[in-house]
Amino acid sequence: MANPLILIVGRLSGPKNDVILSILRKVAPKIIQKFPRARFTVVGGPVSDEHTQLEKYFPYITFLGHQKNLKFFYQKATVVVGAGRVALEAMALNKPVIAIGEKIYVGPLLPEKIELAKETNFGDCFDKEEFDWAGMGKDLIDLLQNKGMRDKAAKTGNQLVQDEYDMEKIFPRMETLYQETLFRKNLSGIHELPVLMYHRVVDKAPAQSKYNLHVTKENMEKQLLFLRVRGFETITFEDLISQRIPKKPVILTFDDGYEDNYHHLFPLLKKYNAKAVLYLLGNRKYKTNFWDVPQGEPEAALLKSTQIQEMAKSGLVEFGAHSMNHVKLTNLGPNEIEEEVAGSKKSLETFLQKPVVSFAYPYGFTNAEIKKKTSKAGYTFGIAVNSGPTNLAGDLLEIRRVHMFPHTSMFEYFKKTSGFYLRYRKLLGRA
Amino acid sequence: MNILHVLSGDFVAGSETSTAAVIEQQIKKGHRVFIASGKFAHPTQARFFEVPIYNRGFFARVTNVFSLIQLIRREKIDIVHAHSRAASWVSHWACRLTRTAYLSTLHGRQHLHFSNRRFNVYGPKVIAVCENIREQMLEETGVFKPEQLVVIRNGITTKT
């Protein structure tokens, strides 16, 4: 090798400085004996008199101070010596790295050293100091002598960075942790967060409705006005994990995605600046409530794509998934459940071009297996009907809701939004 | 999400570089990001507020807590992320007083003393950048359950 360049990168203060000085005093002379034309370049600051003295007496040592373009120096180096971020940056550029931090000498990043390197953040974190200067000298000579070994170290290091330190893999984990922390904080002072369950919002009550799945728009407006007067603020499930929630939150959910939600609910949401969560089928070919009609429920149109887009754009409506085909998931096999749960998420996310965070179980039927698949599909929330703990944070995959009926009076509405309704029903043995 | 990163800012360290990389991703994702620190050498699109977090004198710390409270309220911060011991201490009190979500990253082993062995000032969830730091906190303090300490390694952008 003609002029090997050993690049050492690190802060020249505190314990890092002690380690760098030890390398230059204890290891460098042995390398120079073997490779008289080798050069030790140190990037980092602050450069003090002690460093300039070393530079003066040992011409093979150069201190460059802080440098902005580290990439340039990494690329010129034969071997890079450092810990933490330095090791990562050099490995990303396919350079062989000798990891040594302020606590421990790890060695060349060959496969047998990878676990120790990861555990100690490339030598910076260890419970005691462990520096093998003789070993380091030998390793450095081996690396400088053997191109195959250098290539192997470069390849191992680069693979490690791709597998475990790539920001594209790391960042989503951090985002999830942020959401979890924010969510727990949001719910820390609230036992019952009212999650109200609606379906249709109609102009006039249908003559025959078997399941009473509607409220009139007059009643809906009264209820929204009630919420405003009582100081409630409507939020969505995504709000729970993405922002600090207001002091008196309430979540309004509307299942199935009826077209009357666009005609009668959406104008009211705009008028009262209220938010709602609508649950849609992933299979966009369905035009009506085909699942309820055979049971005697009047036929009702479902939302059109343009209406959904307009509502989503308003920022007042969040969409969640309600399976592909509105089937009882408890009657299905594992693969079919997965198709209904994961398939509807995928379909809606493609359609809406944004993540779908909640899944409302059709008819509210769920069990441990369905919840597992809901979580696996990537939903944060599973929305049930009459099951789940009274405390929303108790089971995010089985969130209990409060039914809203056409005949719900304002006094009942007061009870249902009181923040103790579910516990009250439980006390009466009705929950 | 409105995010506030709190750092000591007494010198340029790997922790600052790692934080800058995370901030870059958060801004790309559309979050509003703020930094409170003594200084922050990396160029960033986040809004920087000079707060001498590195100053550990009692009165300086109290002043820093109030500076953070002001910042949290004014910028409607949703979550605070502390990156050093001094930053964690100050953030802990500012977040308690404003009921703000809060977490810390431990970039290195902690110098443990009476208070941080017995009281958790790091938040309900703590990121350790390697296993050794996580083990230290579990073994040498009595304030963490294993699930509170999560190893998330320092990320690096590999696509150039």
Quick: pLDDT tens for A48-80. Answer: 999 999 999 999 999 999 898 899 999 999 999
CA distances from A71 to A9, A68, A161, A226 (A): 12, 9, 16, 62
Q: Which residues in B lie closer than 8 A to residue A178 (C-beta atoms)?
A: 1, 3, 79, 81, 103
Is the domain B2-151 a CATH 2.60.40.10 member?
no
Digit-coded pLDDT (tens) for A242-275: 999 999 999 999 999 999 999 999 999 999 999 9
A177 has a chain B CB within 8 A of its CB = yes
Q: Which residues contact A303 (CB under 8 A, 6 or more apart)?
A: A257, A258, A259, A261, A262, A278, A280, A311
From B13, which residue of chain A is nearest by alpha-carbon distance? A11
Residues A298, A211: Cα–Cα separation, whole Å: 10
Digit-coded pLDDT (tens) for A93-108: 999 999 999 999 999 9
Count of beta carbons in the 10 Å neighbourhood of residue B104: 25
What is the pLDDT of chain A when averaged over all its residues? 94
In chain A, positions 87-126, which contact chain B (CB-CB < 8 Å)?
88-89, 92, 103, 118-121, 124-126
Structure-token pair, residue A17: 């400085």
* Strand, helix or coil for residue A104: strand
Q: Domain locations in chain B?
A: 2-151
pLDDT at A254: 98
Q: Which residues contact A181 (CB under 8 A, 6 or more apart)?
A: B79, B101, B102, B103, B123, B124, B125
pLDDT at A398: 96
Structure-token pair, residue A348: 């809606």
Q: Which CATH architecture does the domain made up of A171-427 adopt?
A: Alpha-Beta Barrel (3.20)
List where CATH 3.20.20.370 sits in chain A: 171-427
pLDDT at A125: 94
Residues B153, B160: Cα–Cα separation, whole Å: 20
Which of B104, B107, B130 to mutate against chain A (most A CBs within 10 Å)? B130
Digit-coded pLDDT (tens) for B12-46: 677 888 999 999 999 999 999 999 999 898 889 99
Residues A179, A184: Cα–Cα separation, whole Å: 8
In this prediction, what percent of chain A has a pLDDT beyond 70?
100
**CATH of the domain spanning A5-165, picked from 3.40.50.2300, 3.40.50.300, 3.40.50.2000, 3.40.50.150:** 3.40.50.2000
Nearest to B130 among A120, A171, A178 (CB): A120
Structure-token pair, residue A126: 């260890």
Q: Is A266 exposed, middle or buried (0-12, 13-18, 19+ CB in 10 A)?
A: buried
Q: Is the pLDDT assigned to residue A428 strictly greater than 70?
A: yes
Confidence of residue A431 (pLDDT cuts 50, 70, 90): low
B120 has a chain A CB within 8 A of its CB = no
CA dihedral B115, B118, B122, B123 (to 10 degrees): -140
Residues A277, A236: Cα–Cα separation, whole Å: 6
Q: Is the pLDDT assigned to residue A399 strictly greater than 90?
A: yes
pLDDT at A274: 97
DSSP character for A47? Answer: -
List where CATH 3.40.50.2000 sits in chain A: 5-165
Residues A232, A230: Cα–Cα separation, whole Å: 6
Structure-token pair, residue B74: 């004014």
B31 has a chain A CB within 8 A of its CB = no
DSSP character for A363? Answer: G
Confidence of residue A337 (pLDDT cuts 50, 70, 90): very high
Structure-token pair, residue A281: 């089928």
Of A408-412, B7-11, B138-142, the range with the lowest mean pLDDT is B7-11
Residues A419, A196: Cα–Cα separation, whole Å: 12
Q: Is the pLDDT assigned to residue B160 strictly greater than 60?
A: no
